[in-house]
Structures are given as C-alpha cells and as structure tokens.
Chains A and B, each alone.
Chain A
C-alpha cells in the first residue's frame, strides 16, 4: 500500500528541495486566503501553480486528482453560500422557497478558487516529492525527529490500519455479520472498532520496544540516508516566498488590496 501518489518522472520540480515546494504550497495558500479580491486566487493558480505543474510534467495526474476532490467541495460551497449567504441584497434566482443570492455566489467563487489554490499547491508537492525526502528535509532543517516521526507515522499507519480494519470486517462477515445497507454498516462498526482499537493499543507496547532497540530516543545526533539537495538559490527563494506570504497577511490586516 503505497501512500504516495508521486509521479516517477524526474523533472526539475521533482529535484527541488521538498521544503522549497512545501514553502511554495504554503505561500500560495496564504496569499490566496489573505488577499480578498475575488479573482485573485484564479490569477495565482494560473500564474504560479499551473506553470509549476506543467514544468513538473504531472499535468495528467494533477487535474484528475484536483477535479475529483475540488469539484464536490466547490459544489457544496456554491450550494451553501449561494442559498444561505447572510448579507444579501440581490437575488439571482428562486427555487421554491430558496433564493440564490448574488453575494453568496461571489463569496462561493472566491472560496472555491482559494481551495483550488490550496489543493493545487499541495498536490504539486505530493506529486513531485517522496514523503521520506520531505521528512528528512524537515529533520535536517532542525525540526524535532519526534515531531517528524509523529507526522510520518500518522501518514503511514492510517492506511495500514484501514487495511487491518478491512481484514477484521471480512472476518466478522465470514462469521455471519451482515454489513449491507446503512444500518448494517453502522451495526458492523462496533464489532470492528473493538478489535481494531484493542489491537492497536496492544501494538503500541511492541512498537515502543522495537523503537527503543533501534535507537529512537538516543541523544546522538542523527544522520540521514536520504540526501536532500539544496542550493543557495532555493534558500533565497524560500525566504522570498516567506516574505510574500507575510506581506499578504500584513496587507490583509491593514485592509490593503481589498
């Protein structure tokens, strides 16, 4: 069960330091949310995210991923904001007792576009970065190995637990537990959750022993198998991007570019 959707091609974007791509994703996200012009997130997506995606050669994977996740969210945002936006003056259409409001649609557009930028930035990171390289880069930049462990273990263990849950469910089904229909699925949750949680708790002790015997928690300075390339230009780029994000936040606070 490979949790990484990373594409195999080694483009220049793939070769960038994972932190550079992480800072890029965070910067475009913060910028998209901080500045309040309606079409600003779309501009950001087209001029920053899209060129990076094209340069990485992951367009064919990127758009299906983005559409699969973004479209349902965007539709939900349009429905909720379009019909229930509180401060309204212009009604665009009426559907039964519901009124579709212009301000709600504008707000939904902006929110959906912001989410698109957020997803775009992080999908680019996912598609072009090995998770191990990202974790190594974070540790090498001084983040606590324990914090990095928690993040990466959560990423790894979740699919493994899902797999185990599936196994338990199959075992319960084999013993006659009906899981068809909503009621069946809800009823199956209890007999599945019990063994899953108890099993996971039991595993914790063994895992702690294994980690201890493999030197996790020793006070020695760790080394890294994964060599993460970094350059002065990328360090400068990260600083500039950080400043851009900060500027956007300041602009938001000061009410500039509204």
Chain B
C-alpha cells in the first residue's frame, strides 16, 4: 500500500514546491493512473514512490510518504529493491549496459539480489513470454528497437516481482500491440495483488485499465476518482489534460441534445460506440432520421 500524508517536496534548485500537500492512499492491487500537464509533478511523484526522490536528487520533503509501511524519508532506494519496481520514460537509460543479451539483461536485477538460478530462469522465461520477447532472447539489448527496449525495461522491473510497480509513461514508444501487451500484463499484476501507479499523458489506456485516475496540477492533486468521473470532468482541459476524443464528441452531441440524458459521457471507444448507437436509434425511433 502507498500512503502519503500532507506530503510536499521542494527541489534544491526549485523556487516552488514540485509536490504540494499530497494526501493519497493507493491500496494493494489497485491500478492508479496519474495524469497531468508537463511540469505538474508526475515524474517527481514517481520518484518519491520509488524512493529515488529525494535520496538521489536532493530536495526538502515535509509530511510523510510510506510504501508498504516503510517511511520513504528514512528508506534508501536500495532497501526498496524487490518491493518497488520503477520503469522510466527512456528505456535506453534503464539498460544495465553490462549484459549482452535480453535474457541476461532481464536477469541482471535478480543476479544482484542473489536469486537462485533455477528461479531466475523461471522468472525470466515467464516475463519474456508475457511481453513477447522470447524470440529476441539472445539479441543484444542495443540491437533491438526503442519499443522493444521499452518492453525490456518493463520486463526488467516485472521480473523482480515487486509489490508496487511505478511506470512513468511506459508505452510512449510502443505500437498498439506492444502497449496492449503491457496493459494486459498490468491487469495480471493487479490480479496478483500488485499495486500499479501509472504515469501517462495519453488517456485511452488508463481510461480502460485504471481503477482510479488522479490529476496533478502544479504539484497538487486536483482530481481523484474513477476514470468515468475524472476523465469526463469539464475542467480537464483547464488542468492541462486534453480530454479523450470520444468524450469530447459525446459532450458536443449532448450539448445538441443528441446524447441520451441519463447516459454518462464515455471514456472508452466501446462506451462511445454504444452511446452513439443508442442516440442514433432514438433519433430513428423519433423519426428524426
């Protein structure tokens, strides 16, 4: 479980706090998506949860932040290894640079933790199968595409079987198939009780997979709730987040009386298709078409 109480943080070079008065509880097994404009504090929050900020970056925190009961201010990142997995935006920088095949790269963290070889092989093979990397197992991590490197970075965190996974825009370089694989894997993790905090600027996948969406604005949580509530909030654009096209289309249809009054605005393609089909049917029944 992740628990923040009135947590604020200012970087040594910052004139204003990067995070302000964060109160947040993410229970075990929840997929929590965090969205927000550039500079809203997403990467800082990801860093705090993974123990990197302020230990490796410097910064002045106030309030409390805990992961799995550990007070992060008093926990070094190395103590969170195996408990919190972090996937950053740039996969190239997450490669160890010291392993010569994908299989070896995936095993790097497990080797450092002293996991026995049989277990290591089991975990590596399972992650490669989950992420569709098996055919690439013998290639150099530098020989594969950026998208495949992103999958490898995700796999490198997954293979450690952390209780909390922090993913900072994990699918930014992936095609639809790769992104689908990642989110399917996140669903599996949720079923296993892993807490997932997903930092994204694209809303389509969080809308479908997240249990909850937080919006960060200038370091504060400005909205928090189920995707259907938060992602249809008319203030979303004010917070620097572009609403989903389906939601915008449905809202415009509703403004013209073409969307059923009791039907919530959609946040997924399927819900939008159902809503527009129902609107079309009503219009036909009413003789409007």
Contacts and interface: CB of A to CB of B under 8 A. Distances in A.
Interface of A: 1-4, 130-132, 135, 148-149, 152-153, 156-157, 159-160, 163, 203, 205-218, 220-227
A132 B178 CA distance: 27
Contacts of A221: 114
A25 to B, nearest CB: 19
Given A156-B142, A223-B117, A224-B111, A212 B52 contact: yes
Q: Is the interface of A mostly helix, strand, loop or mixed?
A: helix
Interface in B116-156: 116-117, 120-121, 124, 139-143, 153, 156
A163 B117 contact: no
B190 interface: no
Nearest to A207: B93
B195 interface: no
Contacts of A216: 96, 108, 112
24 contacts: A1-B143, A3-B100, A3-B140, A4-B140, A135-B100, A156-B97, A156-B141, A159-B142, A206-B90, A206-B93, A207-B93, A209-B56, A210-B86, A210-B94, A212-B52, A212-B56, A212-B81, A220-B112, A221-B114, A223-B116, A225-B110, A225-B117, A225-B124, A227-B117
A210 B114 contact: no
Contacts of B101: 132
Contact of A224 (B90, B95, B117): B117
Contacts of B116: 223
Contacts of B142: 1, 156, 159-160, 163
A2 B141 CA distance: 9
Contact of A213 (B81, B90, B92): B81
A139 to B, nearest CB: 9
Interface string B28-69: 000000000000000000010011100010000000000000
B107 interface: yes
Interface residues of B, number: 50
Contact of B98 (A153, A203, A205): A153
Most buried by A among B103, B111, B139, B160: B111
Given A156-B141, A225-B103, 9 more contacts: A130-B100, A206-B90, A210-B88, A210-B94, A213-B50, A214-B96, A214-B156, A223-B114, A225-B107
Contacts of A132: 99-101, 104
A215 B82 contact: yes
B78 interface: yes
A244 B87 CA distance: 50
B143 A215 contact: no
Contacts of B143: 1-2
Contacts of B109: 214-215
B98 A156 contact: yes
B275 interface: no
Given A210-B94, A212-B56, A215-B113, A156 B100 contact: yes
A225 B109 CA distance: 11
Contact of A214 (B47, B112, B121): B112
B84 A213 contact: yes
Contacts of B140: 1-4, 156
A160 B221 CA distance: 39
Contacts of A224: 111, 117
